[in-house]
Amino acid sequence: MEINFPENLTSSLDLDGCDYRHAIGRILNLRQARTYERNLDFGGAFAEALYLARKAYYIKLVSRKEAEEEATDYVDTIFSPLFSKEMAERKKDGRKEERIKTPERLQHLLELYFSRFQFGKENIAPFLLNDEISAEQVVKIELFPEVNLAVKPDMIAIKADGSYSILLDEKTVGNAAKETSWPEYVYMARPQFNLYSYVLNEAQKRGELNIPPIKEMEVRRAVIQPTLTSAGDYVHPINYALDEGLLEEVFTDFFYITERRLESFNAFKDEEIEHVFDAVKTSRGLLSKYFRKNWEMCYQYGKPCPLIEHCTVGRNLGLLGFKESKVDTVTKEITFEEE
């Protein structure tokens, strides 16, 4: 079986502080099947609804009301049935029902969003690329021969006067987002946003992306109160100027991490490949010789790493539900090998 280093690295798949976990998921492509995840699925539906509304308004040239209806129809026809199916499965298994991040709550957030950011009344508009809206467009730069850094930002927007571009990102976040006194600095330090901005700026400088220079980042937060009622939910933008020095630092750090992982991979790939999968699934030793573990990452994002039993007591990854898979770096869709 052929094992390769990922051709396209992304901020969502490759910003991992643990080389060992990264190697399991991105080099061996061993993953657990993902079930419904309240934050990812809810946030993904919010982003898709906004994309459809913008496409309707700016590309199809429908009215503001019709564009907004595209978003709410998506929630009713796509997200709501998926949500209902998952809740039925939870009930059957005796698991707790999701009562906060529901289709009704999502519809309310969209109402708040469209009230705050009205089509035709903003001082920015999406950059239009090849007769398509510039939302979720993949842009790449080369890191190493045959290894790219690929980004897929929510949207590239242009100032009304055409003087410069703005990188726009939308987030659905919990109430904890209000607790910091300097929220713009929290977002400024986020590696994902810095890599987005760095790649787009580089592509613009090289003439590979025909847009005005990107000078600002805007994060639009749909803030959800952790209560059953939607009272107190709100939508709020955080806007800040990009810091070229900070972008360079974050990119340089990512570059050297990737360089280290490439060196480890080149040493590792000389192993007898036909035995690699069975050995890694049952033993901590083989992969650990080449890819270091970062024990501080075992509780990244406040959740125990799915590899924690494997790393601590050597539990078989197959018994933990890890299977061979493939991932599409553009759509992030994961497919599993047939057994």
pLDDT digit string, tens, across residues 118-146: 998 998 888 887 667 888 788 899 999 99
The torsion angles phi and psi of 236, rounded to 5 degrees, stand at -145, 135
User: CB within 8 A of 202, min separation 6: which ones?
Assistant: 141
The predicted pLDDT at position 145 comes to 94
Place of tokens 């006067």: 161
Q: Is the pLDDT of residue 53 over 90?
A: yes
Counting Cα atoms < 13 Å in the Cβ hemisphere of 332 gives 14
- Model confidence pTM above 0.85: yes
The predicted pLDDT at position 36 comes to 79
Closest CA relative to residue 69, chosen from 155, 127, 86, 60: 60
Question: What pLDDT band is residue 10 in, cutting at 50, 70 and 90?
Answer: very high
Question: What is the rounded average pLDDT of the residues 148-172?
Answer: 91
Question: How many secondary structure helices (H) and strands (E) does the chain include?
Answer: 11, 13
How far apart are alpha carbons 231 and 228 in whole angstroms? 9
Question: What pLDDT band is residue 196 in, cutting at 50, 70 and 90?
Answer: very high
Q: Is the pLDDT of residue 240 over 60?
A: yes
Question: What is the rounded average pLDDT of the residues 23-32?
Answer: 90
Q: Regarding predicted confidence, which is higher, 253 or 184? A: 253
